[in-house]
């Protein structure tokens, strides 16, 4: 006889609940306590949250047991209470469904052991397997309708959990979900398609994704899974990247956005859909309404593919221009720079080809990222040297304080100076989140302000410890600013500190709203911030791209009017995005002293066309 849950998903899409942890934190549960233990000490609150999700329309309620395996509970000295915590979690979820008179399936939530198995942590896969089996047994004996594995960072750990659940309950319905990074891979580098195939083959009834930074990021992973396998799919996205303003954590993606993406996720193959971090009963209610709508699901356009620029590299006569970026800005010239990301492997050809196209278009300098998104890439300094030696390009190297302590930072900077590097943009850097280095941690010996002080000290012939150098450096130091920050006052205070620390120029976050830029410039003027400001511009490619930038790229706001234009542009999105970029630059001229182009999807051809147009107007 078919299990009731498996029979239900054959008939319709089932709506899961949202984030238990987010609501508990909002209700005052301290960050330092074990959320799973609240099943015992604060059961009424857990029960209330379950009921709110049921009222919002959830048809699957997850037990508050995500971290209730023996390994995770050990850090709270609660390992011996694992069985009790799991049993109580199931009882509360079941009680909520009875009290609401709402038919819903109770899913036993299980998360990873949380100790970085992929990088040789203190717990082996065999020990993790035992912990998973023990928790699954407790949940099944307590009467769950299904098991839901969530937020697993690697295929290896997820596979072990699936096998452990199957040992505990051969016939229990099982959903296995992994979390993926912004580049569409797991923390240990696996791609969606093989992940889905492997988890299904070892026993998962449904495979999916959760804890991604928004519904569009989740959709892209789901589409890859759907193209490679016929396995049933599930999705629970976060409400974007969390933002901290005056010590309050908020999530930017609204219930309306989740409602918009619900039919797209269903069209892509999801038969279980819900929310993860930052999602609340309002998000689930919006998804419920979207599922009930009889409007046909609109299949979104396929994501833009990176264009392969295949042009001959410039000849040797392309020597470095005599006038430097520093001199151009000092002379009041309007400068144009563009971003080139270092390769993930040994071959820099694509980066060099893109840079060559930009060089021929008349670019003034090229920005080189420092392992953006905390993904391992070729050294930014190494690529900068190649760009200078092979193409005669001046570069602005992004230097983050994430990966190196204060000694290594100074060593790298001194070495880069010897190799001809002068322009440095000081950044904090994205937090490391895996990429095969699950236990990697950020160093952050100094802040970006501290890095600027280090550079200014080197320019004076003194290192951070106060030791005199044989001769001073001559770095040209850049600072980052975000005119769209939630608290502009706080952003301006930080920017003033950066200028006082010695910033020679400022590069802003990407802009789509001239009024926001004007407010930023007005405040900068009042604070007597008189260094050159270079505005970031990321040309949009489609409606889907605009939604992703607005909802899921931290610190960037795309106004409603701009997103509406991209929506109306349809298949002409690329041209409309370029037009919007031109309009922003035209409106900003006179207020800023340059533009920093960020080519999405490595579309260096699009950026080069903009460079040519802008240079012709100078």
Q: What is the pLDDT of residue 307?
A: 38
Of 319, 322, 321, 341, nearest to 389 (Cα)? 319
Provide the pLDDT for residue 300. 41
Residue in the structure block whose two tokens are 């009834």: 205
Q: What is the pLDDT of residue 598?
A: 96
Q: Are 178 and 209 in contact (CB under 8 A)?
A: yes
Q: Strand 248-250 and strand 243-245: pairing?
A: antiparallel
Whole-angstrom distance, CA of residue 476 vs CA of residue 495:
17
Residue 101 Rama label (left phi>0; alpha psi -120 to 50; beta): left
pLDDT at 248: 74
Q: Which domains does the chain have, with CATH numbers?
A: 4-290 (3.20.20.330), 325-617 (3.20.20.220)
Q: What element of type H or E holds 509?
A: strand 505-510
Rounded Cα distance between 76 and 165, Å, is 24
226/219 Cα distance (integer angstroms): 10
What lies within 8 Å, CB to CB, of 152 at 6+ separation is 111, 112, 158, 161, 176, 177, 178, 179
- Provide the angle, in degrees to the nearest 10, between the axes of the packed helices 543-552 and 573-588: 60
Q: Are 273 and 246 in contact (CB under 8 A)?
A: no
Q: Are 383 and 372 in contact (CB under 8 A)?
A: no
Q: Which residues of the chain have pLDDT under 50?
A: 118-120, 294-320, 434-438
pTM over 0.85? The answer is: no
Nearest-angstrom CA–CA distance, 445 and 467: 19
pLDDT at residue number 314: 44
Nearest to 12 by CA among 272, 283, 285, 275: 272
Q: pLDDT value at position 245?
A: 62
Instruction: Write 583-586 long-range contacts (CB < 8 A, 24+).
Output: 584/511, 584/512, 584/514, 584/535, 584/537, 585/535, 585/537, 585/614
Alpha-carbon distance 240 to 212, whole Å?
Answer: 8
């Amino acid at each position: 006889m078919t299990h009731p849950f498996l029979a239900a998903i054959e008939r319709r899409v089932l709506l899961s609940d949202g984030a238990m942890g987010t609501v508990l934190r909002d209700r005052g549960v301290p960050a330092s306590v074990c959320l799973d233990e609240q099943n015992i000490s604060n059961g009424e609150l857990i029960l209330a949250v379950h009921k709110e999700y049921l009222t919002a329309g959830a048809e699957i309620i997850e037990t508050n047991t995500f971290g209730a395996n023996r390994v995770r509970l050990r850090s709270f000295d609660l390992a011996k209470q694992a069985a009790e915590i799991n049993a109580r979690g199931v009882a509360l979820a079941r009680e909520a469904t009875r009290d609401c008179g709402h038919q819903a399936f109770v899913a036993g939530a299980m998360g990873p052991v949380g100790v970085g198995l992929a990088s040789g942590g203190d717990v082996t896969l065999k020990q993790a397997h035992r912990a998973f089996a023990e928790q699954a047994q407790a949940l099944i004996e307590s009467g769950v309708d299904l098991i839901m594995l969530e937020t697993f960072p690697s295929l290896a750990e997820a596979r072990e959990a699936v096998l452990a659940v199957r040992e505990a309950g051969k016939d229990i319905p099982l959903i296995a979900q992994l979390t993926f990074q912004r580049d569409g891979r797991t923390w240990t580098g696996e791609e969606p398609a093989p992940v889905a195939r492997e988890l299904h083959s070892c026993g998962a009834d449904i495979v999916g994704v959760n804890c991604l930074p928004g519904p569009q990021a989740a959709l892209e992973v789901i589409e890859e899974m759907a193209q490679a396998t016929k396995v049933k799919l599930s999705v629970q996205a976060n409400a974007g990247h969390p933002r901290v303003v005056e010590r309050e954590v908020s999530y930017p993606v609204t219930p309306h956005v989740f409602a918009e993406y619900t039919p797209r996720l269903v069209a892509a193959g999801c038969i279980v859909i819900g929310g993860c971090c930052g999602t609340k009963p309002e998000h689930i209610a919006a998804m419920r309404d979207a599922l009930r709508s009889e409007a046909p699901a609109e299949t979104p356009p396929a994501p833009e593919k990176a264009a392969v620029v295949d042009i001959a590299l410039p000849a040797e006569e392309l020597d470095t221009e005599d006038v430097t970026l520093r001199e151009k800005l000092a002379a009041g010239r309007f400068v144009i720079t563009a971003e080139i990301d270092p390769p993930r492997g040994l071959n820099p050809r694509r980066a060099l080809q893109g840079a060559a196209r930009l060089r021929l278009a008349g670019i003034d300098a090229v920005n080189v990222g420092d392992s953006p998104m905390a993904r391992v890439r070729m050294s930014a300094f190494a690529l900068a040297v190649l760009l200078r030696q092979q193409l005669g390009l001046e570069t602005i190297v992004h230097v983050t304080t994430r990966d190196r302590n204060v000694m290594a930072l100074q060593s790298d900077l001194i070495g880069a100076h010897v190799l001809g590097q002068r322009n440095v943009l000081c950044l904090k850097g994205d937090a490391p989140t895996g990429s095969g280095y699950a236990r990697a941690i950020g160093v952050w010996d100094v802040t970006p302000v501290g890095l600027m002080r280090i550079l200014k000290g080197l320019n004076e012939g003194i290192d951070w410890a106060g030791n005199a150098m044989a001769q001073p450096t001559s770095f040209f130091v850049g600072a980052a600013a975000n005119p769209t920050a939630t608290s502009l006052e706080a952003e301006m205070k930080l920017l003033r500190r950066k200028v006082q620390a010695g910033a020679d120029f400022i590069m802003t976050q990407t802009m789509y709203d001239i009024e926001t830029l004007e407010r930023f410039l007005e405040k900068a003027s009042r604070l007597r911030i008189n260094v050159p400001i270079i505005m970031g511009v990321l040309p949009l490619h489609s409606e889907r791209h605009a939604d992703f930038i607005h909802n899921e790229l931290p610190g960037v706001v795309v106004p409603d009017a701009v997103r509406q234009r991209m929506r109306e542009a349809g298949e002409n999105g690329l041209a409309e995005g370029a037009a919007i970029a031109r309009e922003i630059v035209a409106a900003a001229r006179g207020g800023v002293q340059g533009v920093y182009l960020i080519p999405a999807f490595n579309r260096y051809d699009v950026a080069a066309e903009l460079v040519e147009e802008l240079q012709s107007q100078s």
